[in-house]
Amino acid sequence: MTRLCLGDRDRRSEQRAQFLDAVLSAGERLVICSTGFDVRTRAEIPPAVIVSELTEAVEVSIGALLRTGRSSEAGLVRSARSTS
C-alpha cells in the first residue's frame, strides 16, 4: 500500500465529497437504489459504507423527531429484497 503525500489525490475523500454534494443538492426527496447483489455473480453484497452511514444518520434523526412528537416530519422507506 502506498502512502499519500501532500498534494496527492485521496479517492475515498473525493468520493465522499461527491456523495455529500449529491445528497445536499437533493430537493425535498432523496432516493438511493441498490439491488444488493453483484451483477455478475448474483452474490449478496452489503451497501457501500457511505450509504450505510447515511442510513444510520437518517434513522437517528427520524428517531429524534419521533421522540419529540414531530412524526409528520419523519419519512424513511427501507426495502429489502428476499434472497429466498
Beta carbons of 74 and 65 less than 8 angstroms apart: yes
* Cell representation of residue 48: 457501500
pLDDT digit string, tens, across residues 67-80: 776 655 555 555 55
pTM for the predicted model, two decimal places: 0.58
pLDDT at residue 41 in the model: 93
Radius of gyration of the chain (CA): 17
**Mean pLDDT calculated for residue range 33-54:** 86
CA nearest 76: which of 51, 58, 56? 58
Q: Higher pLDDT residue, 18 or 69?
A: 18
